[in-house]
A = this chain, B = another copy of it.
């Protein structure tokens, strides 16, 4: 069965962004020729799920081509109905139903690209199969938390821990069955 992956960067104190969606801290670990496994990871995905706020952020800061490049089926989780653009779909239904549907179909794996609200809902329904979390060597002190409070407990199996010259540590876990 297809698996749902989280692939995300966080500060050591658990923030995925500083206040006002400031992602500047990611620059600390930028290094020519080092993508921390992203290209190899994304090659195993054919579907991307993300929240509407994250989508708008990427549209504004990177451009629509980041998602709408014909390589992935994209589902933006939103409350506002909107016609699809290329392979980008705006989904207003129940997130858990979408994920169950996608997992029942054939294909490569599914990548959740955030944000915090979508991750929280996926965790509440125990829908994330694997976690690839890159820890940036900084305490941000405040911002958007990767893990919001009030979720069920979930044991994990460590698949791999890898550290990089920049001080980034990438942790890979699987959900324990």
The chain A residues found within 8 Å of chain B, CB to CB, are: 12-14, 18, 28, 123, 131, 133, 135, 137-142, 146-147, 149-158, 160-161, 163, 167-169, 171, 173
Contact = CB atoms under 8 A, between A and B. Distances in A.
20 contacts: A12-B173, A13-B146, A13-B151, A14-B14, A123-B139, A137-B155, A137-B156, A138-B153, A138-B154, A138-B156, A139-B151, A139-B153, A140-B153, A141-B151, A141-B152, A141-B153, A142-B149, A142-B150, A161-B161, A169-B171
A161 to B, nearest CB: 4
Copies in the complex: 2
A131 B139 CA distance: 11
A123 B139 CA distance: 10
Contact of A158 (B137, B147, B150, B154): B137
A141 B149 CA distance: 6
Contact of A163 (B131, B140, B161): B161
Nearest to A169: B161
A79 to B, nearest CB: 26
Contacts of A141: 123, 149-154
